[in-house]
Copies of this chain bind each other. A is one copy, B any other.
Amino acid sequence: MPRSVCTIIGAGEGLGQALAARFAREGFDIALVSRTEAGSAAAFAAARAAGNAASVRYFAADAMRPETIEQAIARISDEMGAIELLIYNARGAFSACEPLDMTYAALEENYRVEVVGAFAAAKSVLPAMRARGRGSLFFSSATAAFRGSATYPLYAIGKFGLRALSQSLGKAYSRDGVHIVHVRLDCDLDVPVMRDLYGDRYAPGILADPEDVAQTYWLTYQQPRSAWSNEIEIRPHTETWTF
């Protein structure tokens, strides 16, 4: 039996790295996609260290340029084999600004990463998945997909669009055996940059551990197809959730 390929687009430190390690540990071959090779370096090392993947490879693509995603996925399929799972983990800049300070350029760029790039990934893998009658397509998202924000409007607008895309794809292609999931993180991740941002507010357990989040992706991946979730929320047990 040939090994299965897991492709991660936006395979940086934090969640990307944890996902690469988690699926490598289960025996997937891992294809990491980011703009620069350095951007995937931590995920690359983690997948190698997980020990179980026959192959871990890097492919260049820029989420802002959909044709580069198409090309990367074509190469992965050619050189590594059928993609069993694609995780779209790229995201736009998460920078605070009030709505009136958004620029048109920022609105467009953000959309290109959050929605157009995600669609390019879907477009590149779905025909083969539908033909095979199986495959999984996961979109990393956030609670911002559920409500607008006075302070992070760009992020909300992008994630709303991503959720609409994910639902539309799920409604159209689940029946072909492809598991399409919008994974909503309702929390911040416990990574160095966040610990710094939290400063004195940081305490163990208040942020989601990336390895735990990757574990929940892995569990969701295993759902049998007559009992699928298409939208998953993830939050630490300490989260005071409002939605």
| Chain A residues proximal to chain B, CB less than 8 Å | 66, 98-100, 102, 104, 107-108, 111-112, 115-116, 119-120, 122-123, 126-127, 147-151, 153, 156-157, 159-161, 163-175, 177, 179, 190, 205, 207-209, 212-213, 215-216, 219-220, 222-243
Contacts and interface: CB of A to CB of B under 8 A. Distances in A.
- The oligomer's copy count stands at 4
A99 B173 contact: yes
Given A216-B223, A227-B235, 12 more contacts: A99-B168, A102-B119, A147-B164, A150-B171, A157-B165, A160-B161, A177-B237, A179-B237, A205-B226, A212-B226, A227-B236, A242-B243
A75 to B, nearest CB: 20
Contacts of A240: 171
A107 B119 CA distance: 9
Contacts of A166: 148
A86 B149 CA distance: 21
A224 B243 contact: no
